[in-house]
């Protein structure tokens, strides 16, 4: 080969070698930059082990749950209070009736003990009539006392119910 042909080829070969060096440098830089990709892919992958819920969602769910349960709880409380009030009234009525019957029984025993004595004159008949009237008045007094007591208890119960209804609103 002649030197005239090698000269233009020499510059092409030099240029090719220079391009090859640049290419090797680029490959080296790329190899160095991408050598860590598998580890980076593992580190950067977003695996959720625990689901984190925002506090706004939690408070909204709590409010919704409270709104759903509040009427049912209030209804149960009202029903319980009504049942308790009814039982209290029944107990009070039974106590009043028991006391009334005990008073009547005591009066009946007292009258049966006084009955065998027979009046011998007109004065004794008047005395017996007064005793009967006195017993009747005492029984009436007891009945009225029990009625007043029952009405007082009912009044207190209604006041309590009124206070509870005012407190509930």
Q: pLDDT under 50 in the chain at which residues?
A: 119
Model confidence pLDDT, tens digit, residues 107-133:
777 777 665 555 456 677 778 888 888
Task: Give the pLDDT of residue 16.
Answer: 92
Domain ranges of the chain: 12-41, 85-169
Give the whole-angstrom CA distance, residue 20 versus residue 7.
20
> Contact, 109 vs 84, CB < 8 A?
no
pLDDT attached to residue 4: 65
Q: Which of 167, 141, 144, 152 is nearest to 89 (CA)?
A: 152
């Amino acid at each position: 080969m002649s030197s005239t042909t090698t000269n233009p080829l020499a510059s092409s070969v030099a240029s090719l070698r220079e391009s090859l060096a640049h290419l090797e440098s680029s490959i080296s830089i790329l190899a160095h930059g991408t050598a860590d990709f598998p580890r980076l892919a593992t580190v950067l992958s977003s695996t959720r082990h625990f689901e984190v819920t925002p506090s706004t969602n939690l408070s909204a769910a709590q409010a919704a749950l409270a709104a759903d349960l509040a009427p049912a709880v209030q209804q149960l409380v009202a029903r319980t209070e009504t049942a308790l009030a009814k039982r209290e009234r029944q107990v009070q009525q039974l106590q009043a009736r028991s006391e009334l019957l005990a008073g009547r029984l005591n009066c009946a025993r007292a009258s049966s003990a006084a009955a065998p004595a027979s009046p011998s004159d007109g004065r004794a008949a008047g005395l017996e009539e007064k005793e009967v009237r006195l017993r009747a008045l005492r029984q009436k007094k007891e009945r009225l006392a029990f009625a007043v007591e029952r009405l007082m208890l009912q009044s207190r119960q209604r006041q309590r119910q009124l206070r509870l209804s005012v407190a509930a609103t």
